[in-house]
């Protein structure tokens, strides 16, 4: 059975158009010479998009079509597909050339095709297309390659429909937004919409939200112009692949979307088209408290060092955080079995509000903390021991935050923090 679900298969098949006229060129013999690094760069940008297992066998390969104008590369899976175009001539210099014949290409099916190219010892590689058989040569080395005809690859439409909506955003900003929210995405297919990032456009504001029902991350950006309001859910596998391309993208990229698909144009000849997740995304705004009873402040580096030590023993178990704002005292406590435990005290930089004892998953806290630099200062805001708590950058936007749901931990006679928070023998000053 394929790794794709029936729904994914149908969504993917719906994106395939019959009659791939572009790839019907038949060539008896063609020899192409191309710079090794150019070919390798193109293949690496496509590799993350091909299927490991597929309903359509050709999508396990890499599509390469050499034309007199440009090299067209494609790869696809059940969620998204990528197309890259490389001009044959740039500033009067040929990036690849035909030693004989004319337009030719194939779908390269060998899973070791990229390592083959990478291990060639010459700067230039020749690819021989002859009667549906392909050979790759460089110096003394020659590989006979497993391929399919171009016509067997699905004809995916990368063009933007007239009725689509488009948003222009700096590539670095989008990368930051995805890095900020991807850690909170759900890995469970029980609620498919939670495996994607919700993109909400409200006039000139773009807000991204991700949640697995135990934590929430939101990040926003003020766009340079106003757009029609919209809400779409992009699969996690897509945002993760997009993030890889953003490092080499132009300064600004364009996202164009309809009700069912989104197209990312990276401005450097690379375009990625993805399906969208269907369904109603939960109203995460209602999870965010409107007021807080306890607010504390730390430098990120201080918290991160404590977490490294605590996670050596805590792992995925809940911890309890004791807070005394008036004394600027806090303590992280974990009581394992009779032979294990952890305790560390920290001085709070600034604090206000009520004493508090709250338990939560320390891994979630660590994931969220990774969004910030060591030099950053964050505010952690609480509304009681059984309500979600949030934290964000001191002086940052209130809409850019991380939220974690507490865990109810059964108390015992020795560790009962329900009435009064008492941090005995506090040693946070050491």
Domain ranges of the chain: 6-152, 165-284, 288-404
Nearest-angstrom CA–CA distance, 294 and 305: 23
pLDDT of residue 298: 97
Per-residue DSSP letters for 82-119? EEEEEESEETTEESEEEEES-SEEEEE--TTHHHHHHT
Residue with tokens 């009435």: 419
Domain 6-152 is classified in which CATH homologous superfamily?
DNA Polymerase III, subunit A, domain 2 (3.10.150.10)
Alpha helices in 133-170 (DSSP H): none
Nearest-angstrom CA–CA distance, 168 and 166: 7
Whether the pLDDT of residue 317 is over 50: the answer is yes
User: Given this chain, do its domains 6-152 and 165-284 carry the same CATH topology?
Assistant: yes
**pLDDT-based confidence at 422, cuts 50/70/90?**
confident
Q: Does domain 288-404 have CATH number 3.30.1130.10?
A: no
Name the fold adopted by 165-284.
DNA Polymerase III; Chain A, domain 2 (3.10.150)
Whether the pLDDT of residue 7 is over 60: the answer is no
Query: What integer is the mean pLDDT of 246-265?
Result: 94
Q: Tens digits of per-residue pLDDT, 199-238?
A: 999 999 999 999 999 999 999 999 999 999 999 999 999 9
* Low-confidence winner among 66-80, 93-107, 160-174, 177-191 (lowest mean pLDDT): 160-174
pLDDT of residue 430: 59
How do strand 377-382 and strand 93-94 relate by DSSP bridges? unpaired
How do strand 377-382 and strand 389-393 relate by DSSP bridges? antiparallel
Q: What is the average pLDDT score of the chain?
A: 89
| Contacts (Cβ under 8 Å, ≥6 apart) of 167 | 201, 206, 223, 227, 254, 255, 256
Q: Choose between 95 and 317: higher pLDDT.
A: 95
Whether the pLDDT of residue 409 is over 90: the answer is no
Q: CA nearest 72: which of 62, 61, 58, 80?
A: 62
Whole-number percent of the chain with pLDDT over 90: 79
**pLDDT-based confidence at 338, cuts 50/70/90?**
low
Q: Tens digits of per-residue pLDDT, 260-313?
A: 999 999 999 999 999 999 999 999 999 999 999 999 999 999 999 999 999 999
Under 8 Å between Cβ of 124 and 54: no
Q: Tens digits of per-residue pLDDT, 59-106?
A: 999 999 999 999 999 999 999 999 999 999 999 999 999 999 999 999
**pLDDT-based confidence at 414, cuts 50/70/90?**
very low
């Amino acid at each position: 059975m394929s790794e794709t679900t029936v729904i994914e298969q149908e969504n993917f098949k719906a994106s395939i158009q019959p009659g791939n006229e572009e790839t019907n060129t038949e060539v008896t013999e063609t020899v192409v010479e191309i710079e090794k690094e150019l070919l390798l760069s193109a293949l690496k940008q496509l590799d993350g998009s091909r299927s490991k297992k597929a309903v359509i066998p050709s999508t396990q390969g890499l599509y390469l079509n050499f034309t007199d104008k440009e090299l067209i590369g494609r790869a696809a899976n059940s969620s998204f597909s990528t197309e890259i175009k490389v001009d044959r001539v740039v500033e009067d210099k040929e990036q690849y050339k035909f030693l004989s014949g004319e337009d030719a290409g194939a779908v390269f099916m060998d899973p070791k095709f990229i390592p083959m190219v990478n291990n060639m010892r010459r700067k230039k590689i020749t690819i021989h297309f002859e009667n549906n058989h392909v050979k790759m040569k460089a110096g003394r080395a020659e590989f006979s390659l497993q391929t399919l005809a171009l016509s067997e690859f699905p004809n995916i439409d990368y063009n933007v429909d007239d009725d689509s909506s488009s948003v222009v955003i700096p590539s670095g900003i989008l990368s930051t937004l995805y890095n900020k929210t991807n850690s909170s995405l759900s890995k469970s297919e029980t609620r498919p919409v939670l495996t994607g990032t919700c993109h909400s456009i409200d006039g000139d504001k773009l807000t991204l939200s991700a949640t697995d029902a135990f934590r929430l991350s939101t990040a926003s950006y003020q766009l340079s112009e106003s757009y029609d309001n919209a809400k779409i859910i992009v699969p996690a596998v897509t945002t993760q692949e997009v993030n890889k391309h953003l490092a080499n993208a132009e300064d600004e990229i364009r996202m164009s979307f309809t009700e069912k698909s989104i197209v990312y144009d990276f401005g450097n000849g690379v375009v990625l088209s993805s399906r969208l997740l269907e369904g109603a995304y939960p109203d995460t705004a209602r999870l965010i408290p409107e007021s807080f009873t306890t607010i504390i402040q730390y430098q990120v580096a201080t918290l991160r060092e404590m977490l490294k030590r605590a996670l050596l023993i805590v792992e995925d178990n809940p911890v309890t955080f004791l807070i005394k704002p008036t004394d600027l005292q806090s303590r992280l406590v974990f009581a394992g079995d009779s032979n294990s435990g952890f305790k560390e005290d920290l001085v709070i930089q600034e604090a206000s509000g009520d004493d508090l004892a709250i338990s939560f998953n320390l891994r979630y806290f660590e994931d969220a903390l990774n969004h910030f630099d060591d030099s950053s200062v964050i505010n952690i805001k609480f509304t009681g021991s059984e309500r979600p708590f949030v934290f964000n950058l001191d002086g940052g936007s209130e809409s850019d935050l991380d939220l974690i749901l507490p865990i109810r931990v059964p108390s015992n006679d020795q560790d009962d923090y329900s009435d009064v928070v008492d941090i005995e023998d506090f040693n946070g000053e050491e």
